[in-house]
Amino acid sequence: MVAKSSSAFEIKTLSILDEQRTGVAAYEHPWVVRMAHWANAVSLFVMVTTGLRIYKAFPSFGPKIPQSNFINIPKWATLGGWLGGALQWHFTFAWIFVLTGLTYVVYQIASRNYRQVLFTLRDVPGVWPMVRHYFFFGKKPEVTEPYNPLQKLAYTSSIFFGVAATLTGLVLYKPAQLRWLAYPMGGYHLVRIWHFLAMCGFLSFIPGHLIMVALHGWNNFYSMLVGWKKDPEYLNHSSEG
Amino acid sequence: METNDNPDKIAPSSPNVSDAPSNKVLTAREFKHIGRRELLKLTPLVVLGSFAVPRFRDSLLETGVAFSDWASSKYFSRSRLAPTFKDSEVVQFEKFPYNGYDVLDPEVDLDNWTLTVEGLVKTPGEIKLSTIQALPKVLQNTRHVCVEGWDAIGNFGGARVSDFLKLVGADLTARFVEVECEDDYYESLDMASILQPQSLLCYEMYGKPLDRGHGAPLRLQMPTKLGYKQAKYLNTFRVTNVLKSDRKGYWEDQGYSWHGGL
């Protein structure tokens, strides 16, 4: 098969032969990506719930005197029990979160697999049709790649949230040692807000992600476990043997 | 049917579907086996599940915090100064929070107070406040950061802990300083942070003697440490190489990070 454009990526496929039908499967998620995905699912859960417990200790972005609370974080949404416990979880899983993220990004770049998922200018025109399809019952755009433009946008921005959460978290952890990093972010007080917003970014991503996974069913979910996806739409295969 | 060899059926921007060696034909049964094998490759993830097991959890989290503390002390540099602020950025004295673990006034007898100095020092004994006040005085506007998340920029006056250590002939190669307080609070700190030039034995705030709520007559004031490390109402100051594992600090013994560095 001839390469069509330099920006297209390679995807490993195989055919499945059965008595009734012939199918095809594509290797969408390499091992490193699957490992990173599930490790990140766990660490993100821990980071958000313990982060909320930490924030609960002083749920404000203003001064201590007078204190005006911004939000009341319910206990059930938190992990760690008390501030000290939450901090232990947070500063243990922060390493797992960062290590997972770094492994993922380095692997995606080194294997050039990032082209599957990175949102680029090329994807801009495809965003609106997907939004129209998902939210306003528009016609389903033709599926030509493993990830549609809206998915690419979501996954690429989650990488951005991860980088933002890490850098702002480092400043909150070490505002004196990393004052050079705090400065371009607008100082300690603003960095607390950025760190909170990075979490909001994740929180806005996760429900949509879970709903889509639920809607797309077992075959799609299973591909994040085993890597192979049976009969992906973009391979446009016909199922009559 | 050769699905993968039919380029006409694939839209122009679709991925390249590579040929051999991966373009194998498998039976459904063989494909299931591949799936199982790939699933087994995710078993390293069960390590994360050990955090859900109460027996492992505490030691795992302890290790995580110890590692964070190790990284914190590795990265700490005595020459990296904490930010200082203009007088106009200092909060009013009334808006600088009082914070204590127990009582805000342990009723220290200020007239007869002395600081007991022990451990790896040439001249152990009782030190009067006037002796500490005779050391070069440092005034600084620095940010006080509480582990809870609030902070306040205050004006502090006192003597450098490093000057005090030289005064009493302390072994500056010792690893730790332990302090004990009139309100039974206790703390221990790493020598590197203690020797940082902004670390003060603080006896003044806003140009006035430290008041009872803020730790009179003497407290630690260290803009490179979280608030709980900056013990108030000091009465004992010990230079040592060994920490008791169950007495590292009031909050640390309950789970806070020992380094607590900013």
Q: Letter for the amino acid at B81? A: L
Q: For residue range A79-98, list pLDDT tens digits in order.
A: 999 999 999 999 999 999 99
Task: Tell me: do B39 and B148 sit in the same domain.
Answer: no
A16-32 mean pLDDT: 84
Domain-embedded: residue A197: yes
What pLDDT digit, counting tens, does each position of B112-133 carry? 999 999 999 999 999 999 999 9
**pLDDT of B190-222, one tens digit each?**
999 999 999 999 999 999 999 999 999 999 999
Residue B109 above 60 pLDDT?
A: yes
Q: Tell me the CATH number at A40.
A: 1.20.950.20
| Pair B185, B238 in one domain | yes
- CA-derived radius of gyration, chain A: 21
Report the CATH number that the domain containing residue B182 is assigned in CATH: 3.90.420.10
Could you check whether the bond before residue A125 is cis, i.e. omega within 30 degrees of 0? no
pLDDT of residue A4: 38
**List of chain B residues whose C-beta atoms are within 8 Å of the C-beta of residue A192:** 149
Edge to edge, the sheet with strand B125-127 lists B125-127, B115-119, B234-240, B176-181, B186-190
Size of interface A-B (CB pairs under 8 A): 219
- The total of structural domains in chain A comes to 1
Same domain as B140, residue B249: yes
Q: Which residues of B, range 181-220, sit inside 8 Å of A by Cβ?
A: none
In a domain, B12, yes or no: no
Pairing of strands A10-11, B16-17: parallel
Q: Which of residues 144-173 of A touch B (CB under 8 A)?
A: 144-146
Check A3 against B39: CB less than 8 A apart.
no
Percent of residues, chain A, with pLDDT higher than 90: 62
Distance in angstroms (rounded) separating the CA atoms of residues B170 and B240? 10
In a domain, A117, yes or no: yes
pLDDT in tens, B35-66: 999 999 999 999 898 898 988 999 999 999 99
Residue B4 inside a domain? The answer is no
CA distance B107 to A11: 75
Asked if residue B99 is part of any domain, the answer here is yes
**Residue B70 shares a structural domain with residue B121:** no
Distance from CA of A82 to the nearest CA of B (A): 10
Q: How many domains does chain B have?
A: 2
Cβ-proximal residues to B92 (8 Å cutoff; 6+ apart), any chain: none
User: With contacts defined as CB-CB under 8 Å, which chain B residues touch A218?
Assistant: none
Tens-digit pLDDT profile for residues B1-39: 344 444 333 434 445 554 444 567 888 888 889 899 999
Residues 83-142 of A with CB under 8 A from B: 83-85, 87-89, 91-96, 116, 142
Question: In sequence order, what are the residues at sequence separation of 6 or more whose Cβ sits closer than 8 angstroms to the Cβ of residue A148?
Answer: A126, A130, A141
Neighbours of A149 (CB within 10 A): 21
Q: Is residue B50 part of a domain?
A: yes
Report the amino acid identity of residue B183: D
Average pLDDT of the residues of chain A: 88
- Asked whether residue B144 falls in the same domain as residue B35, the answer is no
In the structure, what pLDDT confidence band is assigned to residue A240 with cuts at 50, 70 and 90?
very low
Mean pLDDT rounded to a whole number for chain B: 90
Q: Is residue B93 part of a domain?
A: yes
What pLDDT was estimated at residue B13? 43
Give which of B41, B64, B61 is closest to B53, Cα–Cα: B61
pLDDT band at A8; cut points 50, 70, 90:
low
Same-domain check for residues B104 and B190: yes
- CA closest to A176 among chain B residues: B82
Strand partners, A24: A15
Helices A188-226 and B28-40: crossing angle in degrees, nearest 10, is 150
Decide if A76 is inside a domain. yes
Is residue A168 one of the residues assigned to a domain?
A: yes
Q: Are residues B58 and B85 in the same domain?
A: no
Other C-beta atoms lying within 10 Å of the C-beta of residue A63:
16
Query: What is the Cα–Cα distance from A151 to A125, expressed in whole angstroms?
Result: 13
Check whether residue B68 and residue B101 sit in a common domain.
Answer: no
> What is the pLDDT, as a whole number, of residue B73?
95
Check B83 against A54: CB less than 8 A apart: no
Whether A134 is in a domain gets the answer yes
Q: Is position A86 within any domain?
A: yes
Q: Look at residues B92, B224, B215, B217 and name the one whose alpha carbon lies nearest to residue B153.
A: B92
Q: What residues make up the domain containing B154?
A: 79-254
* Domain match, B232 and B175 both: yes
Please give the structure tokens belonging to residue B185. 């609070």
Q: Distance (Å, rounded) from C-alpha B38 to C-alpha B18? A: 20
Whether residue A1 is contained in a domain is answered as no
Note down the domain range covering A152.
Answer: 32-235
Same-domain pairing of B137 and B160: yes
Domain end residue (candidates: B55, B75, B95): B75
Domain co-membership, B219 together with B234:
yes
For the segment A21-42, the average pLDDT, to the nearest whole number, is 91
- The number of residues in chain B equals 262
Lowest mean pLDDT among A25-29, B88-92, B231-235: A25-29
- Taking the C-alpha atoms of A50, A51, A53 and A57 in order, what is their torsion angle to the nearest 10 degrees? 140
Q: Could you say which of A10, A58, A84 has the minimum Cβ distance to residue B149?
A: A58
Looking at residue A221, its pLDDT comes to 92
| Three-state DSSP state, A22 | strand
- On whether residue B10 sits in a domain, the answer given is no
Do the domain assignments include residue A24?
no
